[in-house]
Amino acid sequence: MTDNRALAAAARAWPFEEARKLVERLAGAPPSKGHVLFETGYGPSGLPHIGTFGEVVRTTMVRRAFAQLSDVPTRLFCFSDDMDGLRKVPDNVPNKEMLAAHLGKPLTSVPDPFSNEHPSFGAANNARLRAFLDSFGFEYEFQSATEWYRSGRFDPMLRAMLAHYDEIQALMLPTLGEERRATYSIFLPICRRTGRVLQVPVVKTDAGAGTIVYRDTDGALVETPVTGGNVKLQWKADWAGRWFALGVDYEMYGKDLIPSAELSARIVKVLDGRPPEGFNYELFLDDEGKKISKSRGNGLSVEEWLRYAPPESLALYMFQQPRRAKRLYFDVIPRAVDDYLAAVDKLPAEEPARALENPAWHIHGGTAPANGAAGLGFGMLLNLAGVANTESKDVLWGYLRRYVPGASAETAPYLDRLLGNAIAYYQDFVKAGKKFRLPSDAERAALDDLAAVLRALPPEATAETIQNEVYEAGKRHFAKEELRSWFAALYEVLLGSSQGPRMGAFIKLYGRDNVVRLIERALAGEDLGRAA
């Protein structure tokens, strides 16, 4: 065992814990298919959402961890359930009347409501899924349920399901309500007359012939093969069938799907297959502590997150404590960005064992790129946007060039993007909540003292030197136990906030003379919420 592999075998980060389950599953021998298969599922009745991102990025982290522990090749299938029937018309699509005429049909048999660019609604949303995943650089293989059913690749699995029909039905029926049990079948025929996916009773099965007989909606008995795309499976049986047919080794799912995953695993065992290793993650909550729902539209979308922060920060948020329910709302973004930047800064100098615990290792596959943020946190950039009171990145670059000599939007594109994110976040969420106050008499004296000290400092004074001077100015006017209130006063009087940055770094960034003018305006009783 190499040193790196030994370190990975002992790593405590949750992706390594999951990857070790796969190593144990292999028991020293690669699977007969020649690779370990990871899978994520996608329902293409709607657009990709933040849960889609979370599932793929977390699965990718486990896949990368497994590569440190084993030389067995891996594949990741992103599987689209695009043969599901269209159950309702989504609220966020055009041509709703046209879609309503195709309710019940497989998504890949429903016309594209967006344009004539794609052959179906399912194909249009599949294209959006692939573009979504590609934009983040994920390595995956797209798979379509429709293609698997209609090409015959699912036929052996479907015949196995038919051969064990009564056993699988016996597993499913106790989980259903009385009315549903009366008509339930794991097989959903595709109606030859209407093209719709039917939920109708099956009155006869013939495993030898590979057919079922069902009672159509008009009362007629219809015999149909279960192969060749003539039927699809109910979703819990479908999940199990996919695991069995593809030989899936690993799949994640939300905590709400634990009973379904357990049931699907039992079905796979009935088929004499082996269920995949699983990982159930907690669900995200909105700002009121309620479960996020795509249909309700509460919580955050990926597009909203990316307006205010880089995608790596979202990946970090997905990495952190996946089995803990967390709020996924706008106020978590600044901390997530700063946590990501701190992780990237630490990674190059960390010992190998510590590096494997670093979120940046898992986000970037071992080596994090230099981001060019020059040690500036998102919170610092938010404060800069606040005191500058501008929506222009060019104005903020005027300050940054003094802090990072030679930097520009062209030479530091990541920092430029962070500036744009910070300006957007400040304008949308911070600006309206700014509350400046006037200083007390004791604070006025300390601020006047600090201004005098700053005027006397040389222009080349470091952020650490400035921080010490801020601290010493406070000590001259406040008792030791009151120094915390001194820094709170700086934030509340100068920045209009109850919290703030490390003042030495902020003064160095904003400029000594600019901060002196800010203090002078505060002492004169001016409204610091307006531009000077």
Integer Cα distance of 311 and 333 in angstroms: 11
Domains 3-165+235-281 and 441-523 share a fold: no
The 8-class DSSP code of residue 283 comes to P
Mean pLDDT for the stretch of residues 457-463: 93
Side-by-side strand order, sheet with 211-215: 202-206, 211-215, 221-225
Q: pLDDT band for position 532 (50/70/90)?
A: very low
> pLDDT value at position 294?
59
Reply yes or no on whether the pLDDT at 30 is more than 50: yes
Q: What is the pLDDT of residues 104-151, one digit of tens each?
A: 999 999 999 998 899 999 999 999 999 999 999 999 999 999 999 999
Fold of 3-165+235-281: Rossmann fold (3.40.50)
In Å, how far are 176, 385, 398, 504, 532 from 523, measured between CA atoms? 71, 22, 26, 20, 14
Q: pLDDT band for position 492 (50/70/90)?
A: very high
Q: What is the pLDDT of residues 264-297, one digit of tens each?
A: 999 999 999 999 999 999 998 887 888 876 555 5
Integer Cα distance of 201 and 183 in angstroms: 4
Q: pLDDT: is 316 or 405 the higher one?
A: 316
Reply yes or no on whether the pLDDT at 484 is more than 50: yes
Is the domain 441-523 a CATH 1.10.20.10 member?
no
Task: Give me 513's structure tokens.
Answer: 């003379």
Q: What is the pLDDT of residues 345-383, one digit of tens each?
A: 999 999 999 999 999 999 999 888 887 777 889 999 999
User: Phi/psi of residue 20, each to 5°?
Assistant: -65, -30
Task: Give me 253's structure tokens.
Answer: 């799912």
Alpha-carbon Rg for the chain in angstroms: 29
> pLDDT value at position 530?
62
Mean pLDDT of the chain: 93
Domain residue spans of the chain: 3-165+235-281, 284-364, 378-433, 441-523
Q: What is the pLDDT of residues 313-325, one digit of tens each?
A: 999 999 999 999 9
Reply yes or no on whether the pLDDT at 42 is more than 70: yes
Integer Cα distance of 454 and 74 in angstroms: 59
Mean pLDDT for the stretch of residues 20-45: 94
Q: What is the pLDDT of residues 217-266, one digit of tens each?
A: 999 999 999 999 999 999 999 999 999 999 999 999 999 999 999 999 99
User: Of the candidates 151, 103, 126, 119, which has an alpha carbon nearest to the alpha carbon of residue 52?
Assistant: 126
Task: Give me 194's structure tokens.
Answer: 């209407």
Reply yes or no on whether the pLDDT at 520 is more than 90: yes
